[in-house]
Amino acid sequence: MLKDKVVCVTGGAGFIGSHIADRALRENARKVIVVDNVIASRQKNLRQLLADKRVVIVPGDVRDVDFITPIIQKSDIVFHEAASKLVASLKNPRTDLGTNIVGTFNVLMAAKGSDTHVIHASTGSVLGSCDTAMKEDFHPRPSTLYGISKLTAERYCVFFAKEFGVKVSILRYFHVFGPRQDYYGEAGVINIFLSRILRN
DSSP state, residue 62: T
SS3 97: helix
E strands within 60-193?
A: 77-80, 117-123, 167-173
**Residues present in the chain in total:** 200
Report the half-sphere exposure of 8 (CA within 13 A, side-chain side): 28
Is 146 one of the annotated active-site residues of the chain? yes
SS3 55: strand
Q: Specify whether the CB–CB gap between 118 and 167 falls below 8 A.
A: yes
Residues 6+ apart with CB under 8 A from 189: 175
CA distance 152 to 158: 10
> At 122, which amino acid appears?
S
DSSP state, residue 184: T
CA distance 170 to 59: 25
Q: Which residues are catalytic?
A: 146
